[in-house]
Structure formats: structure tokens, C-alpha cells
């Protein structure tokens, strides 16, 4: 049987488990060893811990089960290091192996806090870039000056934008606070990429219609929804059937930017087209249910546990489903996901070119145009803020600079 005191020294020597968490890790390993009984040999791999975790889930919270899983995964790695003599020398993990554990812990921490898959992917990308920059330095020895040098490096050598550098900083801040359990200090004098103020690209009503004339099918309907409701492209792609309210002429956006919900207007001119689109989507949904190939659409984790069959219900189905099945990157289940945003972005770019429009317009320009055109019609800036889902009114105020008429009510001295 493994000696827990030796294992505790092993955790301390590697430094990848924060000091205040180590007693909890030892606690979970001790409970696991009690659960499996007085075996002379510890199970060979972590596939044999599932009965223990299942039993644990009945009396503990989800985050505790995840912490127990992480503790046991490190424990099995420790056991696999070799014989008792090797274990008693407390040989620290090599830097590469330690960083692999840090990456896994980063994933667990992001998912525990319900961060989106895109946030997870971008944060892990910056974590790997940081690891490469450090050239093999052990994560237990990483400190604030390393972060300062890395951020300065990507700003000066990489010439990244201010928003990209801020994203890298957010990723490393998350790493220090939630994985390494340390605080970042003395980085105020880090070289920062210059943050320039840019006006949004706004299309005229005529240009919007010219672009729409070059689109068809689901791409046209999505583009019209984005313009008519002021949606972000990801918000449009991830709409579900029950988000539509034809009677109230409203559309609910769930888990938008900042994981916030909001309600916006549903244009009357889109209702007939949406009804026709729903007929074809329903046939696809009925075929998926009948064939039983898909595991059902993705649901937020808590809902999927509470209502395991809800993913096959009509109300939860995507408004714009993909043409085929794909593998969920987190669970590994086969599902029908929503249409990928890159499909609309690519077709929109082609439509802009075909319409002969030279403005550097993207799909997001439709959202900018929605806000600007409402402002030109005389709608209150705070109403537009609510429809767009902006947390700060200053963000919405940018559209006053691109509105077509003098909405500020200022008379130039040249005009008398």
C-alpha cells in the first residue's frame, strides 16, 4: 500500500499543487484507499476509480468530485513513477510532465467555472505559448517577472494588438489565481500594445439590401436576423427553437457575451420565412430522433445531468443546425451541433465582393448597422444599449460618431 506521507512530500517537491489544496488531495486519496480496501496493490490505472467517484457524488458537490478525480490522477502518476526507492527519493516531475499536469488542471478549472469552449481553447493556446517562451522552466518556479517578460515579448516582437495582449494577460492571470494559486504582482510597467480607438464599420441600408440579394438559404436568414435583431454572429448560430417568441415578437439570447441573457426585437418581416425554415428543421429533428444516431444536442452541463433526455426535445434543437454530426470536444459524444460561424462569415465575404461593396465589412458590421440605423431613427441610446446587451453605455455611445444625421443636436458656428 502506498505511503501517503511520502506522497504528500512528492506533492510538495513538485509545487504544482498549491499548499492550501494539498491536505484536500491527501484526504481524497485516503478515502479512495479506504474504499478499495486493504489491497496490497493499488489499481493500475485511473479507470478503476469511477465506482469510487460515483459513490462520492452522492454525498459531495460536483467541484469536490472533480478535485478528487484530479488528486487521484496525480496519485496514479506518482505510483507509476517506479519502485518504492524512487518514490522515497521524492524525485520531482520533469518540467514537461509538470506542465502537462498544469494544462489538465487549467482545463478542469475552466470547465468548473463554466467558461465557453472558445475561451478554453484560447486560454490553453496562450498557456502553451507561455510554456514555450519559458524554455523548460518548471511551473513551480514560474513567477510574475516571467509573465511581465512574456507580455512585453508578444507586444514588441509579436506586434500583437492590444486586445490580443489583454487576452494573453487574462489567460495567465487565470493560471496564477486558479491553478498555481498565486497572485501576479509588479507587472504595471509591462510593455503594452497600443490600444487604438476604431470606429465601427457601418453599412447603409442600400448596401445591406445589396448584400442580402447575394445570399440565400440559411445564410440569408441568419444575416437578416443579425441585422434585424442586433445579434453577434455566435449568438445567432447558437439560437434554439424555444428562443423564438412569435406572439410577443421577441427573441431571447441566452448565455451571450459575459454569459448574460437578454431579449431583443423579432422583426415582423422575418416571421413567415422563419416559419418556413422551422418546417424543414423539424423534419431534420424528427429524423435524428428516429435514427437515434445522435446523443441529442449539447446542453449546459447542469441541465444535461438534471434532464438527460432534454437534448432530444424539439424546443432545445438548434434553429440553424449543422448538416451532419460531429464529436463533442469535451464529452466525446456524437451530436448534431449548430452551423459553424465560419460558414456564414465566408459566404458573407463573398456576398460583399459580389455586391461590389468596397467597404471592409464583416458579418459583425450588420450588428453595428442595426445600432446606427436605430439611432438615426431617433431611438433612445439606453434602449439600444439594452437591445445590444452592452454592460457599459460608453460602448454604445460609439455609434453616435457614425450616425448619418446630426443626432447630437449641435449647430456648427459656420451655419450661424
Find the CATH number of the domain harbouring 145: 1.10.150.130
Residue 281 is placed in which grid cell? 428543421
One domain for residues 48 and 130: no
pTM of structure: 0.70
Rounded CA gap, 379 and 103, in Å? 48
- Among residues 235, 265, 262, 232, the alpha carbon closest in space to that of 367 is found at 232
Q: Are residues 246 and 295 in the same domain?
A: yes
The Cα–Cα gap between 95 and 153 comes to 22
Residue 318: inside a domain, yes or no? yes
Q: Which of 39, 71, 92 is a domain's end point?
A: 92
Residues 59 and 150 grouped into a single domain: no
Q: What's the grid cell of residue 50?
A: 469511477
Which grid cell sits at 290? 428516429
CA angle at 319 for the pair 316 and 321, rounded to the nearest 5°: 95
Give 189: exposed, middle or buried? Use CB within 10 Å, 0-12, 13-18, 19+.
Answer: exposed
Residue found under cell 484536500: 24
**Do the domain assignments include residue 42?**
yes
- Can 254 be counted among the known catalytic residues? no
Task: Give the Cα separation of 163 and 141 in Å (integer).
Answer: 28
Give me the catalytic one of 22, 66, 111, 364.
364
Asked about 232 being catalytic, the answer comes back as yes
| 195 domain residue, yes or no | no
The phi, psi pair for 244, rounded to 5°, reads -85, 135
For the chain, how many structural domains are there in total? Answer: 3
Q: Is residue 257 annotated as a catalytic residue, yes or no?
A: yes
- Using the 3D structure, point to which of 92, 112, 135 is the last residue of a domain: 92
Residues 236, 206, single domain; the answer is yes
Within this chain, do residues 135 and 280 fall inside the same structural domain, yes or no?
Answer: no
Q: What is the pLDDT of residue 320?
A: 96
Residue 297, CA distances (Å) to 110, 304, 320 in order: 21, 10, 12
Indicate whether 415 belongs to any domain: no
What is the domain extent for residue 232? 200-408
What is the C-alpha separation between 113 and 290, in angstroms, rounded?
Answer: 35
Q: What's the pLDDT score for residue 85?
A: 40
251 within some domain: yes
Within-domain flag for 189: no
Indicate if 25 and 174 belong to the same structural domain. Answer: no
Residue located via cell numbers 478542469? 108
The one catalytic residue among 27, 192, 210, 257: 257
With respect to residue 191, please indicate whether it lies within any of the assigned structural domains. Answer: no
- 226 with 141, same domain: the answer is no
Residues 241 and 341 in one domain: yes
Based on the fold, state whether residues 85 and 62 are members of the same structural domain.
yes
Question: Among the three residues 65, 92, 119, which one is the final residue of a domain in this structure?
Answer: 92
Which entry of 347, 367, 368, 373 is annotated as an active-site residue?
367
Pair (168, 298) in one structural domain: no
> Would you write out the chain's pLDDT as a tens digit for each of its 416 residues?
456 777 777 777 666 677 778 888 888 888 888 777 645 445 555 556 778 888 788 777 878 888 888 888 777 777 665 544 434 444 455 667 778 888 888 888 888 777 888 899 999 999 999 988 988 788 878 888 899 889 888 888 888 888 888 899 999 999 988 888 778 777 666 666 666 777 899 999 999 999 999 999 999 999 999 999 999 999 999 999 999 999 999 999 998 887 789 999 999 999 999 999 999 999 999 998 888 766 788 887 667 777 878 889 999 999 999 988 888 877 778 889 999 999 999 999 999 999 999 989 999 999 999 999 999 888 999 999 999 999 888 888 888 877 765 555 555 555 54
Same domain, 321 and 230: yes
Contact present, 365 and 199 (Cβ < 8 Å): no
CA distance linking residue 242 with residue 299, whole number of Å: 13
Q: Per the domain annotation, does 366 fall within a domain? A: yes
Is 196 a catalytic site residue? no
Q: What SS3 string covers the chain?
A: CCCHHHHHHHHHHHCCCCHHHHHHHHHHHHHHHHHHCCCCCCCCCHHHHHHHHHHHHCCCCHHHHHHHHHHHHHHHHHHCCCCHHHHHCCCCCCHHHHHHHHHHHHHHHHHHCCCCHHHHHHHHHHHHHHHHHHCCCCHHHCCHHHHHHHHHHHHHCCCCCHHHHHHHHHHHHHHHHHCCCCCCCCCCCCCCCCCCCCCCCCCCHHHHHHHHCCCCHHHHHHHHHHHHHCCCHHHHHCCEHHHEECCCCEEEECCCCCCCCEEEECCHHHHHHHHHHHHHHHHHHHHHHHHCCCCCCCCCHHHHHHCCCHHHCHHHCECCECCCCEECCCCCCEECCECCHHHHHHHHHHHHHHCCCCCCCCCHHHHHHHHHHHHHCCCCHHHHHHHHCCCCHHHHHHHHHCCCCCCCCCCCHHHC
Per the annotation, the verdict on 10 as an active-site residue is no
Has 73 been annotated as catalytic?
Answer: no
Interatomic CA distance for residues 223 and 213, integer angstroms: 11
How many other β-carbons are positioned within 10 Å of the β-carbon of residue 108? 18
- Distance (Å, rounded) from C-alpha 416 to C-alpha 411? 8
Report which of 37, 14, 11 is spatially closest to residue 25, judged by C-alpha positions. 11
Catalytic annotation, pick one of 138, 224, 232, 335:
232
Q: Are residues 385 and 258 in the same domain?
A: yes
Q: Look at the chain and count its residues.
A: 416
Amino acid at each position: 500500500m502506498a505511503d501517503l506521507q511520502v506522497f504528500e512530500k512528492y506533492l510538495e517537491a513538485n509545487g504544482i499543487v498549491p499548499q492550501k489544496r494539498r491536505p484536500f488531495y491527501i484526504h481524497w486519496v485516503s478515502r479512495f484507499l479506504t474504499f478499495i480496501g486493504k489491497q496490497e496493490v493499488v489499481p493500475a490505472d485511473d479507470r478503476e476509480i469511477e465506482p469510487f467517484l460515483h459513490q462520492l457524488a452522492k454525498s459531495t458537490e460536483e467541484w469536490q468530485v472533480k478535485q478528487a478525480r484530479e488528486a487521484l490522477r496525480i496519485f496514479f502518476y506518482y505510483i507509476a513513477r517506479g519502485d518504492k526507492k524512487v518514490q522515497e527519493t521524492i524525485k520531482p516531475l520533469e518540467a514537461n510532465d509538470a506542465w502537462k499536469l498544469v494544462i489538465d488542471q487549467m482545463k478542469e478549472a475552466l470547465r468548473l467555472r463554466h467558461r465557453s469552449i472558445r475561451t478554453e481553447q484560447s486560454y490553453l493556446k496562450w498557456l502553451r505559448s507561455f510554456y514555450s517562451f519559458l524554455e523548460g522552466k518548471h511551473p513551480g518556479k514560474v513567477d510574475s517577472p516571467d509573465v511581465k517578460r512574456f507580455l512585453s515579448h508578444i507586444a514588441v516582437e509579436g506586434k500583437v494588438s492590444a486586445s490580443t495582449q489583454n487576452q494573453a494577460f487574462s489567460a495567465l492571470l487565470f493560471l496564477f489565481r486558479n491553478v498555481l494559486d498565486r497572485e501576479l504582482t509588479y507587472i504595471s510597467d509591462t510593455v503594452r500594445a497600443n490600444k487604438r480607438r476604431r470606429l465601427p464599420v457601418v453599412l447603409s441600408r442600400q448596401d445591406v439590401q445589396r448584400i442580402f440579394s447575394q445570399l440565400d438559404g440559411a445564410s440569408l436568414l441568419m444575416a437578416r436576423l443579425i441585422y434585424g435583431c442586433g445579434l453577434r454572429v455566435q449568438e445567432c448560430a447558437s439560437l434554439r427553437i424555444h428562443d423564438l417568441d412569435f406572439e410577443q415578437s421577441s427573441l431571447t439570447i441566452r448565455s451571450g457575451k459575459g454569459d448574460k441573457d437578454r431579449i431583443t426585437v423579432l422583426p415582423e418581416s422575418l416571421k413567415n420565412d422563419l416559419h418556413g425554415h422551422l418546417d424543414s428543421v423539424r423534419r431534420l429533428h424528427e429524423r435524428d430522433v428516429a435514427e437515434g444516431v445522435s446523443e441529442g444536442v449539447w446542453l449546459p452541463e447542469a441541465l444535461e445531468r438534471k434532464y438527460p433526455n432534454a437534448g432530444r426535445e424539439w424546443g432545445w434543437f438548434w434553429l440553424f443546425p449543422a448538416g451532419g454530426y460531429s464529436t463533442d470536444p469535451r464529452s466525446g459524444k456524437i451530436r448534431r451541433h449548430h452551423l459553424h460561424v465560419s460558414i456564414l462569415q465566408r459566404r458573407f465575404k463573398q456576398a460583399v465582393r459580389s455586391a461590389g461593396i468596397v467597404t471592409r465589412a464583416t458579418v459583425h458590421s450588420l450588428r453595428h448597422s442595426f445600432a446606427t440605423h436605430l439611432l438615426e431613427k431617433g431611438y433612445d441610446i439606453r434602449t439600444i444599449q439594452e437591445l445590444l446587451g452592452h454592460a457599459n453605455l460608453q460602448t454604445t455611445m460609439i455609434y453616435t460618431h457614425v450616425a448619418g444625421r446630426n443626432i447630437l443636436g449641435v449647430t456648427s458656428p459656420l451655419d450661424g
